[in-house]
Structure 1
């Protein structure tokens, strides 16, 4: 039951998701005395929810190493264990990201062929949403890590966005082949040769080009990815705040706001992080989704929707198949050499 807003947003999001998808069911881990009154506000949830009582939780400022040691009876640990034991198809949390990653990795382990899991999310562009990873799980990555991220990101794009052959680019300081670190250049060479994979590698992209919509999957290390994500979120808030101030500075501007309101509402919807909520830890033997801690019910419902689509489209198996094919070709190339 992690998150900044508390159980009201989570339970409200569950109710909203259930209205869209009647086949959903939920296991909710947390303090029943706090949860039950919120559930009572949404009678339709009664048939679709099971509350598992615990008063223990992972704090927002808790170190991952400490969280691992006492995870067993916490709401976060119990939710992830439900996935491990096959009692749930996916775990969703709005709590401490570092702790969630550490507990999930320890409990679920990484898939064969994956060295490190990555945090992936959808970002809005001028034309469509793109998948970006890693967004903070791994601050340092080698070429093999980046290739694995590309495989996982492409599977995400095919599963959630229904793009048959996603265009994949590596985030770099320039688009020229000679630019970037050795790790980026090596990853680019490997991806350029992997024409047998269900993706279209298209070289490098820069941070200022992410919003154009000419790419479906952007791959980077977690350090650069986290900075890029937070810069984009900050810019979106800056633009909306600037427009709000501009349209309330005088009577004339307020009149202009009334005329422009439909267009501004479209902009607000496009930039609202709740419409893109639901980052996913890819590469684990189980599905774990991270919700924004500040997500409202609409945001929580969107994160639940992401999890449901990934479960139904069997993303874990798709990633495994693509990785098997990549490794088979890599071994064949080594044998020929």
Structure 2
């Protein structure tokens, strides 16, 4: 490479030009997002091995620059706020990284490319969430989840598609095959999807949907209920739910006679998740492909007598809040989740009906 310019004028610091895209890239790439299922010590070891392979193991600046390209998600946010002197030194960055993300027993070591890859090499995660379900037979009953309307009409079955995610299908052959360990009725369960293409995120969980610009980790408060006040021949309504893009709604427009103040409306979507931690604090967090999203897999309860599955989200005060699945009125479209108590206050605005989830044995 000649000069300091490459790739349409981007100026590269000559100290780190070996990190630039190569005609035949020889640098393996790994990622680290700071999830509970990722090992910081494995990441550090991976970076140091790559430095050794590249003959840069003692080049403190090169190692720091390479590590910077590996961060994503929460770890990238944390890294971006570090002082320049830490970002520019692998020795300093390594030490503070290991303190920030201490070693977790049982987390797998990273998967690294061991040979040169194509010029555009795929990103390889430092660690993946695994469970006993991925390597051993099902630990409980195996079946499908029927989705019933509020009038107990069969709408279809829960299904998983890598592109469209969790949805309702009328084809039983496309239904997600579910297994879970039998337990007491009060226990919260993981539902293992046995037929997902990848066993990295095998559990059926929930991800919080938060409007852009809002804190992705904060569940909106319970709806206060709609109240009205009068002034100057006009009516003002407060506490009107702010619908998500998944919701079917009938939201009136403001006029000279009526105005509205909207309230955040808690909404979740189904997603494929990794395992939630056993302790209460981490039941609020599971890895998912939705980067930066608050998700959890340990949300299900099973009633053996009715065969019904219900859903509970663990709130920040350690209380369990019942949530339910909803679809647009008269359809099986746009399956999503709301707090049950909120929906009791929205009938004039949100045009949706609750569905039931019933587990049916297949073997």
Q: TM-score higher than 0.5 here?
A: no
Give 1 or 2: higher strand fraction. Answer: 2
- Which range, TM-score by smaller chain? under 0.3
Pair member with larger Rg: 2
Structure-1-length-normalised TM-score: 0.23
